[in-house]
Amino acid sequence: MTEGVKIHQDAATTSVSRSRTSSLEAAETDLVSEEPDQEEEESSSAPEVQHPSTGGAEDSGGGPVAPDGGWGWVVVAATVLVLAMTLAFPSCIGIFYTDLQNDFQASNTETSWVPAIMIAVLHACGPLCSVLVECLGCRTTIIIGGILSGLGMAASSFAQTLEELYITAGIITGMGFSLSFQPSITMVGHYFVRRRAFASALSSTGTALGMSILPLLANYLLSSFGWRGSFLVLGGILLNCCVCGAVMRPLGAKPKMDTRTGQTNIHQLKTNCLSIPHEREGLKGRLRATLSTVMSFLSRHMAFDLLYSNPYFCAYALGVSWMMLGFVVPLIYLVPYATAYGMEQDRAALLMAILGLINITVRPAAALVFGLPRFRGSHKFAYLFASAVLINGLSSCICGTAASFPVLLAYVIVFGFSMSLIGSLLFTVLMDTVEMSRFPSALGLISIMQSIMLLIGPPLAGMLVDSTRQYAYVFFACSISGSTAGLFIMLSFYWLDRQKDRELKSSFTYKDTNALKPSIKMTTDCDYSPVPLHSNSVRDMETDV
């Protein structure tokens, strides 16, 4: 009896211990899986994740599928407005150029730093924008950019020196522009795959819309309120970027940070375990860890690895950066050039408006043409882009010949047509050159490279004007920069395509030669087949002996 009781007690204790261990394991799994369950519930209930356009569809890899329509057209419309208020804004600074120069008693070089810093910071903040998009998402980043740009322009209306304008209108406003326009373009790339060329070209019409409206609006505000009041009103207009960012709904739920106690303890244990060998290694190990962290950050947000792993991207980045040295200089100096030779301010502003109207006309037509099936998935976009850059560079020679209204009108027509093609294909060629997952980091690296040229371009043009007292040399220098950049991109892509075709032909011929050698396999089979027979015959001889 006592033995039976002991057996029952032992069974009971073992069952209790098993139940306790199973309950502990269940609790631990609940701690680990509670957060994903909550994310799944939130993703299923949140209106951001599943739209009527997407239907909550996901691809086989678990990622969201681009709808190629639906709410994507709202994203395209919002991107048009964002580009109209950001990328086109530096073009209207030329309206205030003479007033700023007279008010602060500054030279052309000193005054040109205001739009130069604005445009340079607009492109240089690409890596910062990539980090914020990864941490906060595109929608929040665009709203932050709208707030910064609006506050920067409002604060610049109270500037008393040019140095204060460099900070407010240049750095703060330019940073806000960068945080607004780059995530908008990224959202268009996520919402469209099959119609990406059409959507990108259509969204680029925002720059043309801003170039046609902002100069006329700036000229009206300047005549009514002066440049200080104009900057204050324009700062309020730029706050509308926040509204555009609010409609940029993400396709998938943004990953949340682990805030549960169980997850925190696990991460603390991992960091503690990893910190022990770092302390043992000393300063050398810490430097290695820091260097590896910095390199991973640069490869993730600036895509330096693409410069040596992707020759197409390397050629495109170098060509576009060299093009930017003189691409925006005519937009800044066209109005001062016309007014310096006796043209009225209204007619000079009309030239900028005509330039914008040409962009509005050409860019939608280019979007329709580039959206045709014959252009999908082809490398023709790169050659079209290079041809447009070449024509854009050569057109600046027209402006340098004379400063009359008919000559400048002809220049504006040719320059606007080529500029429309460049704006329509700039991001499309980049999307075709790199994978879409690397597009934000590739755009960040190209933006950094462009910002260097955009920063030194206008001041170099100002130094040229101050030394020669002639605006014509500025446009001739821009012609050299643009035409050589177009030739470089065209010849580089042609050489890379020829090299790629040769590699494909050599691989095909290698496969054909291997397919014509079946006798070698039969010979090897015959060589290896008698080996076990030979060993067996040796064993038989040994047994006979």
Where would I find the H helices in 137-172?
Answer: 138-156, 162-165
pLDDT band at 252 (very low <50, low <70, confident <90, very high): low
pLDDT digits (tens, 9 = 90+) for 106-148: 888 888 899 889 988 888 887 788 788 888 888 899 999 999 9
CB 154 within 8 A of CB 219: no
Name residue, tokens 């170098």: 318
Radius of gyration of the chain (CA): 32
pLDDT digits (tens, 9 = 90+) for 281-330: 567 777 777 777 777 766 666 777 888 888 899 999 999 999 999 888 88
pLDDT band at 249 (very low <50, low <70, confident <90, very high): confident
Name residue, tokens 């950001």: 86
Side-chain-facing half-sphere of 318: CA atoms under 13 Å: 16
Give the pLDDT mean for 414-430.
86
Which pLDDT belongs to residue 52? 33
- Our count of domains for the chain comes to 2
pLDDT band at 66 (very low <50, low <70, confident <90, very high): low
Q: Indicate whether 386 and 481 sit together in one domain.
A: yes
What is the C-alpha separation between 177 and 540, in angstroms, rounded?
88
Q: Indicate whether 236 and 328 sit together in one domain.
A: no
What CATH number did the domain enclosing 154 receive? 1.20.1250.20
Q: Does pLDDT of 263 surpass 60?
A: no
Q: What is the DSSP letter of 439?
A: H
Which pLDDT belongs to residue 61? 42
CB 210 within 8 A of CB 87: yes
Q: Confirm whether 121 is domain-assigned.
A: yes
Smallest Cα–Cα separation from 121: which of 170, 188, 179? 170
Which pLDDT belongs to residue 363? 79
Which pTM does this prediction carry?
0.63
Smallest Cα–Cα separation from 88: which of 268, 216, 197, 188? 216
Enumerate long-range contacts of 502-509, CB under 8 Å, 24 or more apart.
Answer: none
Lowest mean pLDDT among 159-163, 405-409, 484-488, 519-523: 519-523
| Type of residue found at 349 | A
Give the pLDDT mean for 484-501.
91
Q: Confirm whether 15 is domain-assigned.
A: no
pLDDT digits (tens, 9 = 90+) for 267-284: 444 444 444 444 445 677
What is the C-alpha separation between 149 and 59, in angstroms, rounded?
37
Q: Indicate whether 190 and 87 sit together in one domain.
A: yes
**Full domain range(s) for residue 129:** 67-250
Q: Does pLDDT of 499 surpass 50?
A: yes
Q: Indicate whether 241 and 318 sit together in one domain.
A: no
**Residue 310 φ then ψ, to 5°:** -125, 95
What is the C-alpha separation between 475 and 341, in angstroms, rounded?
15
Q: Indicate whether 99 and 242 sit together in one domain.
A: yes
- How many other CB atoms are there within 10 angstroms of residue 166's CB atom? 18
What is the C-alpha separation between 493 and 488, in angstroms, rounded?
9
pLDDT digits (tens, 9 = 90+) for 518-534: 555 444 444 444 545 44
**Residue 247 φ then ψ, to 5°:** -90, 0
Q: Indicate whether 334 and 451 sit together in one domain.
A: yes
pLDDT band at 26 (very low <50, low <70, confident <90, very high): very low
Kindly state the tokens that stand for 381.
């976009």
Q: Confirm whether 9 is domain-assigned.
A: no
Q: Confirm whether 118 is domain-assigned.
A: yes
Q: Does pLDDT of 485 surpass 80?
A: yes
Q: Does pLDDT of 471 surpass 80?
A: yes
Q: Indicate whether 245 and 346 sit together in one domain.
A: no
Q: Indicate whether 234 and 309 sit together in one domain.
A: no
- How many other CB atoms are there within 10 angstroms of residue 275's CB atom? 10
Q: Confirm whether 460 is domain-assigned.
A: yes
Q: Confirm whether 42 is domain-assigned.
A: no
Name residue, tokens 């023709």: 380
Q: Indicate whether 421 and 340 sit together in one domain.
A: yes
Q: Confirm whether 379 is domain-assigned.
A: yes
Kindly state the tokens that stand for 135.
């941490």
Q: What is the DSSP letter of 166?
A: I
Distance of CA 270 to the CA centre of its chain: 34
Kindly state the tokens that stand for 294.
């910095």
Q: Indicate whether 237 and 343 sit together in one domain.
A: no
Chain length of the chain: 545
pLDDT band at 427 (very low <50, low <70, confident <90, very high): confident
pLDDT band at 209 (very low <50, low <70, confident <90, very high): confident
What is the C-alpha separation between 387 and 320, in angstroms, rounded?
13
What is the C-alpha separation between 124 and 318, in angstroms, rounded?
15
Q: Indicate whether 245 and 307 sit together in one domain.
A: no
Report which secondary-structure segment, H or E, holds 245: helix 240-246
Q: Indicate whether 75 and 196 sit together in one domain.
A: yes
Q: Confirm whether 108 is domain-assigned.
A: yes
